[in-house]
Structure 1
Amino acid sequence: MATLLHPAFRLAAFGEFFPALKDRVEKSLFNLFQDRKTVIAKQKQAEVKTTNQDQNTNLPSKPKSKMFNLFHSSSAKAENNELTVYLKGGEVFEMDAEDTKSALIWWKEREGKYPILSSLARDYLACSASSCAAERTFSAAADVCSANRSKLLPRTIEMCVSSRMWLKDNVPIVGGDFETANKIVKNFSSFKEKNRLKFVDPSPDTNTTPPQL
Structure 2
Amino acid sequence: MPVEPPPTRWALPSREDLVAWADADDLIGVGGDLAPGTVLAAYRRGLFPMPGAVGDHRVGWWSPVERGVLELADLRVSRSLRRSLRGFEIRIDTAFEDVIDGCADPRRPGAWIDAAMRAAYVELHRLGWVHSVETWRDGRLVGGLYGVAVGGVFAGESMFHRETDASKAALVGLVEALRDEYADRRLIDVQWQTPHLASLGVTRVPRADYLARLRELLELPQPAAFG
What band does the TM-score fall into relative to the shorter chain? Answer: under 0.3
- Which has a greater percent of strand? 2
Pair member with larger Rg: 1
The TM-score normalised by the length of structure 2 is 0.20
Q: Counting helix residues as a fraction of each chain, which structure ranks higher? A: 1
Higher RCO (C-alpha 8 Å, min separation 6): 2
